[in-house]
């Protein structure tokens, strides 16, 4: 290796050493720089936090400074209040000390005096008066000059004996002044008092008083009294308090009106007369009904006798009391009250007190209704012993008037029936008719003629079924029934028993009348009035009617006169209708049973069987003859069959309803009833027909009457099947009230 190379290598080594040393120093410095930089950042963050904390501290300083300032202001205000209260307390203490005499207040004897007067006891007043006590009383009550003895024996004695229920109060705090050991107490006091002889007369004494108080034998006593009093009404003291006259006018009005109300309610006589004094008089002037007598009734016993006659004569009364002004305006009765410490008097006056009165059964003029207008004046005195007003004299001036002057549109005396609904048909006696109005259906049998008052028969006539409202019609005599409404028959427009519905031999031909009604209804026959075509006026009850009953159905089979029948409602059922029972029905003629309605029937009473759209009337006295004997009580069934498999009728009509009657479950041509059943079927009436049906099918056509949606048969008396047929839709049909005759072969079952 040459020297250059060695030298270069040495240089390189030296440079490497220098570089390594430099790099090491650089790394050291770099590390120190990073550390210093990090410390600087931390210091900056610390400075920022300290800055924020300083700002927050400044804000808190401001808040607490304001809070401290506010509390300090409140403290100053409280300090001021305390100082004020302390000053007042000291003033009160100084006043108390000034008003006290060895620990005693001059107010004590004053209030003990005032309270003792209210207690009405001398022992609660005189201990607080000195022996040399004097009083000067001006105004009310009992003015005068008094010493100790006369004040006790006169003023206090009069006050305590003449007044009761005493209350006192002061209108303001008393004022107290002193001069040495003498004290002067001034106040305005008020006493509420009720006179012993007239407790309803509440009085108020308003007095300005001055007491002089001095020490007597170690006690503070009243040595003199200055009283300046006047009387004021209670309303001047208590705002809104009614006057004494108003209060007692109400009491007087209540007393008299209670008597009038007792007359209307027909309370016992001693209750009606309870407001009369023992020696009272009742004077009755004017025209009274025949059952009562006018005149003067003196003494309580005599007055009660009049009221007993009143109660017995009238069964119901309605009344009210009023004053009627000349222009017709009604106002309340007038009352005048005179109040004084000695006696209270009052006068009650009502120039029109109407009594609407219904005469009791058995009394003269029954069943009349009276409208009596009574001009009534009552004089009363307050009885302090019983604490009530008493009638000492009462005068009636009685004037009868027409009831319609008060009831206006309501007629209460003349029985009146107004037409509400009317259905009129022209009847051909050979065919009969079905007439319907409201809830009524009336059936005139074929062969029913109109017999006129001259005895002639008409085969063609107008028959009307009329529904009527009722006015001034009351319960039938001897009953508690309630009239509801009425219906009537009319022949050629006449409602009169002079006409009749008869057969060709002039025997009665009763109209069968169905009424949809409960079993609490019945009717009474009425006639004797006149009919103008729209209103029937007058008449009276004649006798009760007999109906046959079913479930919500009643039927009459006796009416043959064109008169009025009034439906009457009872609180209980009139009769017990046939009751449903469970029973089986034997198969018949290969007909398929759909349903059966069965009822137990007493043949003597009869009844109505309501079975779906079929109703059957079993007249009273209907018994059933069977192959083994006669049945008087039996199960009666209405059986519905399916029309499937039943052929069309001989005339081509199609089966619509198939049914039968059964007795004790048997459908048989061998059973017969002693009366004809009456059958009503609700069915389309477009040329409907009815056929008796047997083993071989249709046997013969039955006679029927057709109405609006109803079919009537009056000939059935055997429990056998029938079929109702209707024309096919393509057949010509008409609807009318008519009679369809049977074929005439074999009779009608």
Domain 416-569 class?
mainly beta
Strand partners, 539: none
Of 109 and 45, more confident: 109
On the question of pLDDT at 29 being above 60, the answer is no
- Asked which of 186-195, 237-246, 603-612, 717-726 is least confident by mean pLDDT, the reply is 237-246
What is the DSSP track for 267-284? --HHHHGGGEEEEEEEEE
pLDDT at position 737: 45
Give Cβ neighbours of residue 68 (< 8 Å, ≥ 6 apart).
none
Mean per-residue pLDDT over the chain, rounded: 87
Instruction: Classify each residue of 63-76 as buried b or exposed e, where b means 16 or more C-beta atoms within 10 Å of its C-beta.
Output: eeeeeeeeeeeeee
Give 463-502 pLDDT, tens digit per residue.
Answer: 999 999 998 898 898 888 999 999 999 999 999 999 999 9
Q: How confident is the model at residue 380 (pLDDT cuts 50, 70, 90)?
A: very high
Residues 572 and 544: beta-carbon distance below 8 Å: no
What is the predicted pLDDT for the residue at 746?
43
d(Cα 523, Cα 574) in Å, to the nearest integer?
Answer: 11
Residue 742 has pLDDT above 60, yes or no: no
Nearest-angstrom CA–CA distance, 480 and 477: 9
Residue entry with tokens 């004089």: 379
What would the two tokens of residue 699 be? Answer: 């046997």
State yes or no: pLDDT of 3 exceeds 70.
no
pLDDT at 20: 55
In terms of Cβ atoms closer than 10 Å to its own Cβ (0-12, 13-18, 19+), residue 715 is middle
Question: How would you classify the pairing of strands 388-401 and 416-428?
Answer: unpaired
Q: What is the spatial distance between Cα 461 and Cα 434, in angstroms, rounded to a whole number?
A: 14
Q: Which of 148-152, 494-498, 552-556, 740-744 bottoms out in mean pLDDT, i.e. has the lowest?
A: 740-744
Judged against a pLDDT cut of 90, whether residue 257 lies above it is answered with: yes
CATH architecture of 107-237: Roll (3.10)
The larger pLDDT score, comparing residue 740 to residue 352, is at 352
DSSP bridge partners of 144: 137
**Fold agreement between 244-405 and 416-569:** no
**CATH code for the part of the protein at 579-740:** 2.60.220
Is the confidence at residue 270, as pLDDT, over 60?
A: yes
pLDDT at 743 over 50: no
User: Confidence class of residue 66 from pLDDT cuts 50, 70 and 90?
Assistant: confident
Asked if residues 638 and 596 have their Cβ atoms less than 8 Å apart, the reply is yes
The residue ranges of every structural domain in the chain are: 63-99, 107-237, 244-405, 416-569, 579-740
pLDDT at 653 over 80: yes
244-405 under CATH 3.10.450.50, yes or no: yes
**Coil, strand or helix at 622:** coil
According to the model, what pLDDT value does residue 388 have? Answer: 87
pLDDT tens for 330-377 read: 888 988 888 776 678 999 999 999 999 998 988 888 878 889 999 999
Are 449 and 509 spatial neighbours (Cβ–Cβ below 8 Å)?
Answer: yes
pLDDT bracket for residue 6 (50, 70, 90): low
- Calculate the alpha carbon distances from 34 to 19, 28, 39, 526 in Å: 22, 10, 8, 134
DSSP strands (E only) in 414-552: 416-428, 433-437, 440-444, 449-451, 457-458, 460-471, 482-491, 500-502, 512-515, 521-531, 535-544, 548-550
Angle, CA of 431, 432 and 433, to the nearest 5°: 120
Which of 66-70, 672-676, 740-744 shows the lowest mean pLDDT across its residues?
740-744
What is the Cα–Cα distance from 464 to 421, expressed in whole angstroms? 10
DSSP strands (E only) in 627-664:
629-631, 633-641, 654-663
In this prediction, residue 693 carries a pLDDT of: 97
Tell me the average pLDDT across 273-291. 93
DSSP summary character for residue 362: T
Quote the pLDDT of residue 46.
66
| 176-210: pLDDT as tens digits | 999 888 999 999 999 888 887 767 677 889 999 99
Average pLDDT of the residues in 49-60: 71
pLDDT computed for residue 734 by the predictor: 46
Regarding pTM above 0.85, the answer is no
Mean pLDDT of 665-686: 95
């Amino acid at each position: 290796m040459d020297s250059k190379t060695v030298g270069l290598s040495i240089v390189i080594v030296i440079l490497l050493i220098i570089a390594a040393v430099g790099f090491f120093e650089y790394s050291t410095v770099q590390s120190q720089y990073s550390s210093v930089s990090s410390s600087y950042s931390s210091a900056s963050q610390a400075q920022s936090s300290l800055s924020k904390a300083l700002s927050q501290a400044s804000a808190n300083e401001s808040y607490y400074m304001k809070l401290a300032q506010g509390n300090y202001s409140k403290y100053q205000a409280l300090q001021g209040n305390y100082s004020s209260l302390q000053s007042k307390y000291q003033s009160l203490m100084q006043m108390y000390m000034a008003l006290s005499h060895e620990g005693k207040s001059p107010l004590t004897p004053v209030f003990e005096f005032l309270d003792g007067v209210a207690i009405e006891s001398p022992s609660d007043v005189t201990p607080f008066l000195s022996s040399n006590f004097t009083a000067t009383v001006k105004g009310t009550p009992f003015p005068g000059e008094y010493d100790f003895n006369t004040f006790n024996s006169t003023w206090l004695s009069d006050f305590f004996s003449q007044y009761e229920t005493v209350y006192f109060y002061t209108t303001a705090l008393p004022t107290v002044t002193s001069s040495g050991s003498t004290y002067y107490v001034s106040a305005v006091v008020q006493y509420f008092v009720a006179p012993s002889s007239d407790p309803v007369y509440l009085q108020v004494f308003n007095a300005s008083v001055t007491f002089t108080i001095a020490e007597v034998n170690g006690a503070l006593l009243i040595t003199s009294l200055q009283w300046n009093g006047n009387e004021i009404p209670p309303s001047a003291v208590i705002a809104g308090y009614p006057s004494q006259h108003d209060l007692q006018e109400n009491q007087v009005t209540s007393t008299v009106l209670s008597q009038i109300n007792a007359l209307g309610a027909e309370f016992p006589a001693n209750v009606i007369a309870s407001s009369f004094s023992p020696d009272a008089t009742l004077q009755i002037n004017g025209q009274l009904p025949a059952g009562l007598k006018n005149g003067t009734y003196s003494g309580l016993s005599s007055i009660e006798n009049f009221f007993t006659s009143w109660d017995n004569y009238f069964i119901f009364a309605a009344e009210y009391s009023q004053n009627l002004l000349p222009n017709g305006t009604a106002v309340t009765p007038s009352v005048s009250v005179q109040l004084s410490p000695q006696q209270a008097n009052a006068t009650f006056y009502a120039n029109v007190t109407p009594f609407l009165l219904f005469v009791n059964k058995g009394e003269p003029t029954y069943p009349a209704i009276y409208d009596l207008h009574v001009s009534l004046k009552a004089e009363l005195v307050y009885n302090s012993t019983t604490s009530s007003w008493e009638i000492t004299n009462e005068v009636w001036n009685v004037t009868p008037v027409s009831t319609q002057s008060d009831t206006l549109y309501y007629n209460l005396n003349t029985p009146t029936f107004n037409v509400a609904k009317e259905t009129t048909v022209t009847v051909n006696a050979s065919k009969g008719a079905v007439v319907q109005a409201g809830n009524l259906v009336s059936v005139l049998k074929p062969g029913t003629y109109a017999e006129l008052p001259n005895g002639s028969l008409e085969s063609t006539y107008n028959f009307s079924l009329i529904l009527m409202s009722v006015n001034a019609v009351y319960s039938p005599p001897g009953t508690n029934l309630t009239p509801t409404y009425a219906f009537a028959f009319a022949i050629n427009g006449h409602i009169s028993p002079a006409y009749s519905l008869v057969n060709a031999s002039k025997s009665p031909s009763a109209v069968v009348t169905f009424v949809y009604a409960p079993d609490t209804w019945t009717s009474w026959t009425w006639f004797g009035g006149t009919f103008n075509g729209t209103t029937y006026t007058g008449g009276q009850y004649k006798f009760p009617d007999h109906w046959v009953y079913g479930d919500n159905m009643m039927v009459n089979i006796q009416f043959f006169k064109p008169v009025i029948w009034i439906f009457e409602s009872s609180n209980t059922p009139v009769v017990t209708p046939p009751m449903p029972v469970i029973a089986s029905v034997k198969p018949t003629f290969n007909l398929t049973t759909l349903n059966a309605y069965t009822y137990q029937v007493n043949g003597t009473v009869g009844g109505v069987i309501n079975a779906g759209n079929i109703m059957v009337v079993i007249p009273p006295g209907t018994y059933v003859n069977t192959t083994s004997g006669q049945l008087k009580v039996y199960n009666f069934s209405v059986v519905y069959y399916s029309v499937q498999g039943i052929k069309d009728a001989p005339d081509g009509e199609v089966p619509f309803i198939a049914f039968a009657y059964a007795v004790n479950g048997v459908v048989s041509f061998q059973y017969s009833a002693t009366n004809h059943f009456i059958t009503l079927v609700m069915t389309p009436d477009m040329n409907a027909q009815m056929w008796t049906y047997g083993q071989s099918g249709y046997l013969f056509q039955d006679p029927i009457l057709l109405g609006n949606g109803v079919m009537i048969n009056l000939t059935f008396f055997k429990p056998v099947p029938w079929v109702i047929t209707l024309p096919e839709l393509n057949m010509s049909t008409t609807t009318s009230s008519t009679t369809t005759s049977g074929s005439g072969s074999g009779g009608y079952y």
